[in-house]
Each structure stands twice: as C-alpha cells, then as structure tokens.
Amino acid sequence: MSGEGARATGPADDRVSAEQRAREEELVERVVASFDATPDERLRHLLVELVRHLHSYVRAVRLTESEWAAAVAFLTRVGHTTSGTRQEFVLLSDVLGLSMQTVAVNNEAYRNATEATVFGPFFVDEAPVVEAGGDIAGGAPGEPAWVEGTVRDVDGNPLPGARIEVWEADAEGLYDVQHEDGRTYGRGRLVAGDDGGYRFWGLFPTPYPIPDDGPVGDLLASTGRSPLRASHLHFMVSAPGCRTLVTHIFVRGDELLERDSVFGVKESLVLDWEHHPAGAPTPDGRDLGGRGWARTRFDIVLAPA
C-alpha cells in the first residue's frame, strides 16, 4: 500500500464480484502511488485524498461512461461561461455547499467571534473610500438603510483603524459589476473610529437570484432548486493581529433564510431591522427627500489571527 494506507473505498453493492473489486482497488492504489515522489507533502496529501474520494464516488454510484461524459461536458460549459466578470466555478462551489464547508473548516468557532460566511463572486478591490456616516449606495435604487456598529476583539477591546469593506446589490438584485458601463455603486471601504465604531448609509437588502442563465442555473433547475439568495449585505473586516472576517448580515423574517441558494445563512447573522416612514428624523439629520428608511446595528467581534 502507498503512503496513506489501505482503506475501504469500494461499493457496497454485493453484485460486484470480489475479482472486480480487486481490479478497481488495484487501480486506485496505482494512481495513488504515482504521487509518491511529489516533493511538497501537502500537495501529495491533497492529490491522494482527491483520487481516493473521486474513485470511491465512481465505484459507489457505478458511474456510467455516458454520465462521465455528461459531467465533463458540464464542467466544460462552466469553464466557457467563466469570464473576467463572472466566476461560474465559484458559483458551482457555492450551490454545492463546498464554499460554505471551506469557510467552516477555515473559521473555527472561537469564543464570541462573529461567524463567517461565503465570500461570493462580486467583491472588488479598491472600493471607494467612504467617511463615517457616508453613503455607499451611489444612487442605486432601493430603500435607504442606516447601518452602524462597533468592531472589537473577543475581550471587548475596540479595534480602532479596523478596515471595513461593504458591498451589496441594488433593489433590482444587481451588483455594479454586472453592468458593462463601468458604474460603481453599492460598495465602500470604511475605517473604524477610535472607539471601534462605524456607520454608513446603504440600501436595505432585498432577495435576488444568483446568475442562473448558465450551466449552474441549469443544474439548479434540473433539481428543483431556486437560485434566490436570502436578502443580505456583505462585510469583510480586518485588523492587525486578528483573523480577517468575511461575512453577511441578513434580514429577520425573510422567507428565504431557510433556503438560501448557497447555504450562507447563520442564525447569529440574522438581524432585526427597523423601518421608518417618510419624514422620520434620520440619525445624522440627512434629508432623504421624502423617502422612508431602515436601520440596523451590527457589532462585529474579530477572532485572533
């Protein structure tokens, strides 16, 4: 046996003869052994486990050649659909729960630290800098929303200077990068104040579908699943000595919380939002031109690095 040792990888189907199982297991071990000379031990481990799990799947379901060909064709379509502004492979990872599982593995629970969730495909580096109390909406349609909170460590100490990236879709369910005219809206970069506080105007989150006009959308349709994501607003928060947090905030009462298409919802991230009628005083005295507005509070706790 090669380095990782023997393990049962074959099908439970008693109709497969002992001779056939032995042939299949021998192939697995030959492929695994082909990586014995890999200089990077971590790379070798990743490849060996990948081979074992892939072969185990093929043997367990007794994959047909036509099914294998269909899978190759599907992944080819995923590759062709991917572009500089659309990452269909990330989307595929998301709808299979792989993205959230990777998040879970890499963000172990730590005391009272805020939980992480999926990154998503719509983050953009170098978002516009927004001063405390500024507006990230950029004129996009939607209900104005006031979001405020603090950034602290697990011991309750404020983290002044923490970098806070926020981004979201508009009320039509689109991010700015989904347009081809180069517009920028629904995103911004803030810095926590001396008390760890932050605040900004954005848009009240609304549901929207993940891009479903490609192969991933076809996969969802073929399985009776909805492409809709629960209403949310993205955060990425970082500070020296702390684990960078990628997370969302959600809306309590949203009917999609239990069937978010990428499995990104966590109960601790579901917040109460207050809605105020047109003309109600705003926290900073801003004139909203006769529109109603919403507000919420999101206090962020970063785990140590």
SS3 per residue for the chain: CCCCCCCCCCCCCCCCCHHHHHHHHHHHHHHHHCCCCCCCHHHHHHHHHHHHHHHHHHHHHCCCHHHHHHHHHHHHHHHHHCCCCCCHHHHHHHHCCHHHHHHHHHCCCCCCCCCCCCCCCCCCCCCCECCCCCECCCCCCCCEEEEEEEEEECCCCECCCCEEEEECCCCCCCCHHHCCCCCCCCEEEEECCCCCEEEEEEECCCCEECCCCCHHHHHHHHCCCCCEECCEEEEEEECCCECCEEEEEEECCCCCHHHCCCCCCCHHHEECCEEECCCCCCCCCCCCCCCCEEEEECCEEECEC
Question: How far is 303 from 99, CA to CA, in rounded Å?
Answer: 20
Question: How far is 263 from 92, CA to CA, in rounded Å?
Answer: 12
User: What pLDDT is attached to residue 12?
Assistant: 52
Question: How far is 49 from 22, CA to CA, in rounded Å?
Answer: 19
Tokens (6 digits) for 266 = 């966590």
User: What pLDDT is attached to residue 5?
Assistant: 41
Regions in the chain scoring below 50 on pLDDT: 1-11
Question: How far is 297 from 128, CA to CA, in rounded Å?
Answer: 22
User: What pLDDT is attached to residue 86?
Assistant: 85
The percent of residues above 90 in pLDDT, for the chain, comes to: 89
Q: Identify whether the C-beta of residue 174 lies closer than 8 Å to the C-beta of residue 128.
A: no
| pLDDT tens-digit map of 120-154 | 888 999 899 999 999 999 999 999 999 999 999 99
Question: How far is 32 from 36, CA to CA, in rounded Å?
Answer: 7
User: What pLDDT is attached to residue 1?
Assistant: 32
User: What pLDDT is attached to residue 120?
Assistant: 84
Tokens (6 digits) for 211 = 């891009």
Q: Identify whether the C-beta of residue 233 lies closer than 8 Å to the C-beta of residue 246.
A: no
User: Which amino acid does the sequence have at 104?
Assistant: A
Among 87, 67, 91, which Cα is nearest to 219's? 91
Neighbour tally for 234: CB within 10 Å: 23
Q: Judge residue 145's burial from the number of C-beta atoms within 10 Å of its C-beta, 0-12 exposed, 13-18 middle, 19 or more buried.
A: buried
